[in-house]
Structure 1
Amino acid sequence: MDNNSNSFETMSVTYGERDQSPAPGVEDVVVPIHLSSTYSIPRIEKGMSLEDVNADDGEYLYSRLANPTRNALEHRIAALEGASHGFAVVSGTAAIATTMSAILTPGDHVVAFEDLYGGTKSMLKRFFNERLNVGVDFVDATDPENVAAAMRDETALVWMETPTNPLIHLCDIAAIAEIAHAHDAKLGVDNTFLSPYFQQPLALGADVVIHSTTKYLNGHSDSIGGAIVTDDDALAEEIGFLQQIGLGAMLSPFDSYLTLRGMKTLPLRMRQHEQNALAIARFLEEHPAVDAVHYPGLESHPQHDLACEQMDGFGGTLSLELATDLDGVVEFLGALQHFPLAVSLGGVESLIEHPATMTHSPLTQAERDALGITDSLLRISVGTEAVEDLRYDLDTALSMISTTDTAHPTTTQS
C-alpha cells in the first residue's frame, strides 16, 4: 500500500487494518485482538527460515516475530510518519533503547540534547556510557553550532527531543541532520510531544524517529508502548532483529489494539489539545502568580519562529514557573480539581507534574540546576476538556499563592 495514497486523517482511521482479516471471507471493520502466541503452518520445506515468513502476506509463525494486530499498528504509524518501516515495542523507553542499540557499539560516541527526559539521560549515562563504553556529550542543541562543536570522528548518533521535556526547548532538525550526516552519523528524534500530526522529522532529515505511544498516539492513558519508524533499510533490519529476537521487546496484541483505536481520533484530539493549550498558555502568561510560561505557540517563546517553520502545530504540553517557593507549589497543586498530579502526558484528561521530584528526580540537584529545572517548575499536559473549566481551576488554585512571597529561591534559566 502507498503510504501517501490518503490524507493523514484518513490513514489515522483505516490504514493497516483492512488487510488484516482473521479468516477468508471475514471482513472486520476494526482489526481484532489476535491473542494467539503461535500459528500453524501448512508444511515445512527444505531450506525454510524465519526470513521466509512474511506477515504482510498473511504468513505468521510466532507472535514475538509478528502478530496481525501489531502488524496493523506498525503499518499505520509508519504511514503517518511517511516512513517505510515501523516497529511497535513495549514502551517508549524500549523504543529508545532498541534504536540506540541498533546503531551503537562500544567505542562509539553520542551527541545528545542536554534537556532530555530524565530516563533517557540516565539510560545514556548508566547503560550506554558506563556499561557499554559509549561516549556521551550533552549540549545545548537550541544552537546547532553547539552540536557541530561536539561532533567527533567516532560520533555515530545524534539524539534529539524537540520540543524537550520539560522546558519545551526546540532544535532545528534540518540543520542538525546536515551536521550529523556530514560526520556519517545518524540523527534520531523523539517526536513524542507533537506526534506525526504536528511534526514529521523524517521529512526534515532525521534517520529514525521514536514515540512513546503511551502519550498522544494512544491518547487515553490506558496503554504503555513505544514505536520506531525509519526509511533506512539497513537500520530497520537491525531494529527488527532486536525487537523480535535480540531483545524481544515487542508490543502485546492488546496494547497494539488500544493504540490502533486511539490513533483513529489522533487528528481530532491534537487539534483540541493545541487549542486548549494555547488558551491556557496565554492565560498563564498574564497571571501575576506566574513568572514564566514555556510554550512554542506563544510569540514570547524564544524559538517561536522555528516552531512555525518546522511544526504544523504547537502541541498540548507546556510548562510554567510559579512565582513562589516549593511550599507555594504544594499549596497550588493541592487546590487543583481538574489537573491530577501524575506523570505522563498526552491523554484526553489534563495532568500536571512536578519535574524536580517526579520525571527528573533521577538527575542530581546540580544537573537540575544547570538545566533550569527549579522547584517552581511545573509541566502541564492540557487535555481536551472545556477550556473554561481548566482556566477557572488554574485561576482558583493560583489565587492561593498570589498574595505570598513571589521571590524565586533560585535563578531561573530558560
Structure 2
Amino acid sequence: MPQRPLHPRSLAAQAMGKIDPQTKGVVTPIHIATTYIRDEDNAYSSGFIYGRPDNETIREAESVLAMLEEAKAGALLFSSGMAAATAVFQALSPGDHVVASKVMYWALRAWLQTEATRWGLVIDFVETDDLAALKAAVKPGVTKLIWAETPSNPLWTITDIAGVAEIARKAGAKLAVDSTCASPVHTRPLTLGADIVMHAATKVLNGHSDVVAGALCARQDDEFWNRIKTVRKGQGGILGPFEAFLLMRGLRTLHLRQERQSASAMALAQRLSAHPLVARVLYPGLPQHPGHDIAARQMEGGFGFMLSVQVTGGEAAAIKAAAHVELYKRATSLGGVESLIEHRASIEGAGSPCPTDLLRLSTGIEDVEDLYADLDQALKAGHS
C-alpha cells in the first residue's frame, strides 16, 4: 500500500488491500473451517482454535468496519443486528440502570421492555434528542449505559452525540449509539465521544438485501468491551463466514451507494415537501427539521438515505398509497440498492410512537425521477 494516508473510501474499496498469499487473488477466499490443527506442543500457533469464537474471513470484514468507524479497539460481527445490540445489554449486570431512546428500532424496544427486565436491568426511555430530559433521567453512579439511536427510526429525530457523551462521562456511564441509518460514511459516533457504535449490518453496510448481520465497534479496549466479546463467544452469536464475505463485498461499495442514496433522499424530501398530498416530510436534511442544525454538525456528506412522509387523508390514504407503488417494494428492512416503502404503524403494533399516517421510505440507487414519479402516482391513487 502507498506510504501516504489513504481515504477510507480507497481502503474500503480494496478491503484494506489484502491479497490472497497463495493465489495472489485480489479477493481473498472464504475460510469455512470450524476446527484447526494443534502444534506438536499442543499450542495453536495459527491463532485459531475453533469456529465459534473466531474466523479469518470475519476478521477481515471486521478490520474494514473498524477502519471506517475509527474504532481503536476493533469491531465484532454478529449473526444479526439484534444479536449485536442485545450483547451490549447482556454485558451489564443485574440491577444496572439504562437510559434508552424512546424512539428506536421497534424490535429492540420490545426486547428491552420484556426480556431485558428479566435479566434484572432497569430501563428508562426518554427523548434522547432532549438533553435536559436525558440529563434528568440519568442517575450518576447508578446509570451504567445510555443507548441512543440517531437518526431514530422511523421519525428520524437527531440526538447530539457529543452532548450525550458528555452527560454519560460525568455520570460514569457508557454511551452506545445505534448508527445504522447514518453509516460511517455520514457519522462516526466514536469520534464524537461514544464508547460503542452499533449497526444492523443487514442494512446499508451490506446494501444488497441478502445478508442478516450485526456489528459493534469500540473506542477503547476496556473491561466492558471484553465482556461483550465474552457474550459473543459464549452464546455463539458470531456471523457466518459466507455472510461475512458478502458483507465485505458490500462495504467495498458503501461510499458510492451512500452518496447516491443520500442525494436522492434529499431530492425526494425537498420535492415531497411541496406535494399537495403530503402533510409532512421527516428528513434531517430539511432546514425545517428540528434536528437539522445538529445533523449538519455531526453528519458529513449528506443526511442519510431514510425519510418518512405523513400522508394527507390519514391512515387509510397512507395504506392505500403503499398498495399502489410500482417501483418501490413493499417490504421490511432498509438500506438496500432497491427502494422500499412500508406503513410502519401496522408493523410495530400497539405502543408504537409511529403516526398512523406515516410511510417510511428507504431510498435505493434507482433514478430519482423514477422514484418521485412512482410516489406521485401512488399518493394520487391513495386519494382516489
TM-score, normalised with respect to structure 1: 0.88
Q: How does 1:198-217 map to 2 (within 5 A)?
A: 198-217=186-205
Q: Distance in 2 between matches of 1:342 and 1:90?
A: 21
Query: Are residues 1:289 and 2:277 paired?
Result: yes
Q: For structure 1, which runs of at least 5 residues remain unmatched after alignment? A: 404-414
What is the aligned counterpart of 2:339 among 345, 350, 357? 350
Structure 1 stretches of at least 4 aligned residues deviating more than 3 Å after TM superposition: none
What is the aligned counterpart of 1:36 among 26, 33, 36? 33
**Letter matched to residue 355 of structure 1:** R
State the match for 1:380 in structure 2.
361
What is the aligned counterpart of 1:138 among 125, 136, 141? 125
Q: Secondary structure at the match of 1:399?
A: helix
Deviation, 1:8, is 1.2
Cα deviation code 1:42-100 (max 9, x no counterpart): 3234xx5xxxx58xxx5322111211110101111111100121100000000101122
Deviation, 1:16, is 4.5
Q: How does 1:195-274 map to 2 (within 5 A)?
A: 195-234=183-222, 235-244=224-233, 246-274=234-262
Q: Distance in 2 between matches of 1:70 and 1:28?
A: 18
Q: Distance in 1 between matches of 2:66 and 2:107?
A: 25
Q: Secondary structure at the match of 1:215?
A: coil
Cα deviation code 1:339-388 (max 9, x no counterpart): 11111000000001111111x22xx3xx33xx3x1221110001100011
Q: Secondary structure at the match of 1:66?
A: coil
State the match for 2:318 in structure 1.
329
State the match for 2:373 in structure 1.
392
Q: Distance in 1 between matches of 2:147 and 2:329?
A: 31
Q: Distance in 2 between matches of 1:289 and 1:144?
A: 34
| Contact 1:34–1:67, Cα closer than 8 Å, also in 2 | yes
Q: Distance in 2 between matches of 1:122 and 1:398?
A: 31
What is the aligned counterpart of 2:167 among 152, 163, 179? 179
RMSD of aligned alpha carbons: 1.8
Cα deviation code 1:189-226 (max 9, x no counterpart): 00100110100000000000010110010000000000
Cα deviation code 1:286-312 (max 9, x no counterpart): 011111000011111111111110110
Q: Distance in 1 between matches of 2:298 and 2:185?
A: 12
Q: Distance in 1 between matches of 2:129 and 2:316?
A: 32
Cα deviation code 1:201-253 (max 9, x no counterpart): 00000000010110010000000000100022123322222212x21100000
Q: How does 1:295-306 map to 2 (within 5 A)?
A: 295-306=283-294
Q: Distance in 1 between matches of 2:257 and 2:16?
A: 20
Q: Distance in 2 between matches of 1:79 and 1:118?
A: 29
Identity of matched residues, %: 39
Q: Secondary structure at the match of 2:265?
A: helix
Q: Distance in 1 between matches of 2:227 and 2:277?
A: 50
State the match for 1:151 in structure 2.
138
**Letter matched to residue 30 of structure 2:** I
State the match for 1:128 in structure 2.
116
Deviation, 1:120, is 1.1
TM-score, normalised with respect to structure 2: 0.95
| Contact 1:320–1:379, Cα closer than 8 Å, also in 2 | yes
